[in-house]
Structure 1
Amino acid sequence: MRIPQNIKRLLFGARLVARHYSLLPEKQNPSRRCILRIDGRIPNGGLCDRLRGIAGIYLHCKVNNHPFGVLFDHPFELQEILRPNRYDWRVTKEEMGSSIWDVSVAVTYGGGNAVPPSAVARPMCITSAEAT
């Protein structure tokens, strides 16, 4: 029996959450913002695809007045190449929430341009990945 693609993606997202996030709530509540996380946990496209995804999610956050951040540290740190100009988009791993109660995870496919509007109601970790 063939498993539909949307069920595969749902199971993939559940495994990602279980592997990288804690079930216990954190003592400190991180600030609410949308964070795009590109850290090598999931294989994703090339540099141009990643930058296009960053620009698309930043635009979504700007239009909806949500704070935005990027944690890009694989295969290099983005801060080594690009510097923030008017908007400081940098995020450190220490600033990231690690509890599933504090973080809403959305795994995006095909460049990371689609963010559900309801997903930014809580702090968010978006992981960009290629569709398989």
Structure 2
Amino acid sequence: MDSTIPLPRQQRLLHLLKQAEGELSAQELHRRLRAVQQVTGLATVYRGLKLLLQAGLVRCRKLPSGETVYAPLERDQHHLTCVRCGHSQALPFCPLGTGSLGLMSVMLQGFKPLFHSFSVHGLCPDCQATQTET
């Protein structure tokens, strides 16, 4: 199998990810497949996502809750994530640089990246305000 051409099951997952406005968990993808009468087990969804990751077609990000969310690779988003309330805000730019990968090109030394993620974890303004009130 050519690693850049996913099988029909993976194509359905990729299609759902591209339709979604944000990132989706494997559980949410499973729910959406079931809603359109696509009988697929949750383990099959996880295997499909793993193959899409290995093919470089999707990226993933782990939330503070431990849940992993997925998005199409072309959505190069990076986040500020509150560790208290879980709110996640996308950054409007890639802090690692673009083009020849900017800062990353110095660090890669022949390594071929498929995707990267950048997250800053801390307290959002609302949680900071409630922290100072108590």
Report TM bin, short chain. Answer: under 0.3
Q: TM-score, normalised by structure 1?
A: 0.25
Higher relative CO (CA 8 A, sep ≥ 6), structure 1 or 2?
Answer: 1
Q: TM-score, normalised by structure 2?
A: 0.25
Name which one, 1 or 2, has greater alpha-carbon Rg: 2
